[in-house]
Amino acid sequence: MLNVGKHTPVEILEKLPPISNQIQEKIDNFGDDEHPFSVGNLGDIITKHSNWQKCFPRVEPFYAVKCNDVDPVIRILADMGLSFDCASKIEIQKILELGVEPSRIIYANTNKQLSFIKYAADKGVSMMTFDCEDELIKIKKVYPDAKLVLRISPQSNYKVKLDLRKKFGYHPLKASELLEMAMKLKLNVIGVSFHVGHGCLETGAFVAAIEQSRKVFDIGATMGFDMHLLDIGGGFPGEQIQNVETNITFERIAEVANKSLDDLFPEKDVRIIAEPGQYYVSSAFTVAVNIITKKTFTDKYTLSPDGDFLDKPTVQNEPTRMYYVNDGIYGCFLSCLIDPGCFVPSHFKDSDEELHNSTIWGPTCDSLDLVIENVKLPELTTGDWIFFKDMGAYSFTTASSFNSMPKVKKYFICEKSLWEQVYQR
C-alpha cells in the first residue's frame, strides 16, 4: 500500500484482476459488513490523460474539480501536470493545498459570491469566467486586474444529455454589448469560453460553438482587448460502456474539434484550454451495493370505475422483482434522475441463469430514489451484491446526507507500471 493523498492508501498491483474479482475480494474480506463501497482505479485516469495528450495535443486540460474531488484523484491529476477548473472558494483551496500554482486554475463559475472573488484575488487566481453585467461589477470592485473569459451560450440544436444554456452563457450575437461594458469598466477580457452541455452526443455541437467563439473573439479584438484564450469547456464522454444510440466517442469529438480549431484558430499564440470532468473519471470507478430488501409483485390490481377493487387482477404479467439497495440517487446515483438507465447493474450469478424483469430502488424514504427500472437480472436475494461501472463522475461530489444513509467507502488501486509512469520517471 502506498499513500498518494492525505491519508488515502492506494493498493499497487503488478496486474489488475477483472473488476468483478476486485469487488468479490473486498466483499470476502468484509464478513457481515454490507456497507456500499467503490473501487477507484487510478491507472485508468493515468491512461485517460495519455489519451487526451494524444488526441488533443493543442488543448490544455483544466480538470473540472466538481466532477470528482476525492483526494487521490485530484492529487494524481496535479502530479501529472494538469490544471484545474474550480467552481468555489473551497475547490480553489483544495487545489492550492496540493501545491498547484494559482496560474493553473480557472475560476469557471459565472456566478461567484463576492467574498469568493476576493479570495481568488488574495491567492492570485486571476483567470475567471463571466456572463453578465452584474458579474463584471462585482469583479471590478474586488479584482479589477482579473483575466476575464466571456462565457457564451452556443446557439445550436445538437443533442446533449444535460443542456446548460438555460442557466449559463451570454448570447454570442449580443456579445459586443457585454464587451463594451467591460471596456467601460477598464477590465481585462482575454478570451471566450463555452460548454456544449454535459454529455455531448453530436460532434457538431463543438463545431458550432467554436465558430461562434471565433466571431466573439474577433469582436473583442476589434474593440481592443488582447484576446488570446479559447476555453472549449467540458462535455467529453468518459464511460467505458459506450453510448449505443449515437456511437459518440471522445476520440471522434477530438478529431472533429481539432479540425475546427485548426481552421478557425490557426494562430499559434492563441492558448486553447478545456474543462473536462467526466472524461477523466467516469470509467475509473465502480460502485458495489448490497440488496437490503426484496419484494416480488405478481399481479396488478386496479380500481373499478366506481372506485371499488376488482377482485381479479387486471393484468397478469411476469412478476417484477424489486430490489432495494443501500445507495441511491441521494448517494452516488444522482445521474439516474437526469439520464435514466445510465448505470447498468452487474452481478455475480452465472451468465446462463434465467433473467427477470427487475427494478432497483435506493434506500431512502423517497420514491424519486430509483436507480433503474425494468432491467433484466437473474433471481437475486437480500444480502446479494450488485455493482455498477462508470460511476466516477458526479457521484461522490453530489452525494447528500438525506436520511443519513451510509456513504460509500472508497478503495483505490493502480497497476504498478502505470503508477510508475507518474511517480518514478
Give catalytic residues, as residue numbers.
Answer: 365
Q: Map residues 102-121 to x or -, x wherever contact with ligand PLP holds by CB under 6 A.
A: ------x-------------
Q: Which of 40, 235, 345, 362 binds ligand PLP (CB under 6 A)?
A: 235
Nearer to ligand PLP, 91 or 384 (CB): 91
Tell me the three cell numbers of residue 179: 464587451
Determine, following the binding rule CB under 6 A, whether residue 158 of this chain makes contact with ligand PLP.
no
Q: Identity (one letter) of the amino acid at 240?
A: Q
**Minimum CB–partner distance for residue 40 and ligand PLP (Å):** 17
Nearer to ligand PLP, 198 or 214 (CB): 198
Site for ligand PLP in 257-276 (CB under 6 A): 275-276
> By C-alpha distance, which of 386, 366, 367 is closest to 376?
386
CA atoms of 187 and 136, how far apart (whole Å): 8
**Minimum CB–partner distance for residue 163 and ligand PLP (Å):** 11
Binding segment for ligand PLP (CB under 6 A), chosen from 29-37, 42-50, 139-147, 231-239, is 231-239
Determine, following the binding rule CB under 6 A, whether residue 72 of this chain makes contact with ligand PLP.
no
Number of H helices, E strands in the chain: 12, 20
Nearer to ligand PLP, 246 or 421 (CB): 246
Determine, following the binding rule CB under 6 A, whether residue 278 of this chain makes contact with ligand PLP.
yes
For ligand PLP (CB under 6 A), the number of binding residues is 16
Site for ligand PLP in 309-368 (CB under 6 A): none
CA atoms of 219 and 175, how far apart (whole Å): 8
Determine, following the binding rule CB under 6 A, whether residue 234 of this chain makes contact with ligand PLP.
yes
> By C-alpha distance, which of 67, 70, 77, 136 is closest to 104?
77
**Long-range contacts (CB closer than 8 Å, 24 or more residues apart) made by 350-355:** 350/378, 353/378, 353/379, 354/378, 354/379
Determine, following the binding rule CB under 6 A, whether residue 169 of this chain makes contact with ligand PLP.
no
Determine, following the binding rule CB under 6 A, whether residue 191 of this chain makes contact with ligand PLP.
no
Burial class from Cβ neighbours inside 10 Å (0-12, 13-18, 19+) for residue 305 reads exposed
Determine, following the binding rule CB under 6 A, whether residue 196 of this chain makes contact with ligand PLP.
no
Which residues have C-beta within 8 Å of that of residue 298, sequence separation ≥ 6? 313, 316, 319
CB of 166 closer than 8 Å to CB of 195: no
CB of 120 closer than 8 Å to CB of 141: no
Site for ligand PLP in 384-413 (CB under 6 A): 393
Determine, following the binding rule CB under 6 A, whether residue 198 of this chain makes contact with ligand PLP.
yes
Binding residues for ligand PLP, rule: CB under 6 A, are 64, 67, 85, 108, 195, 198, 233-236, 275-279, 393
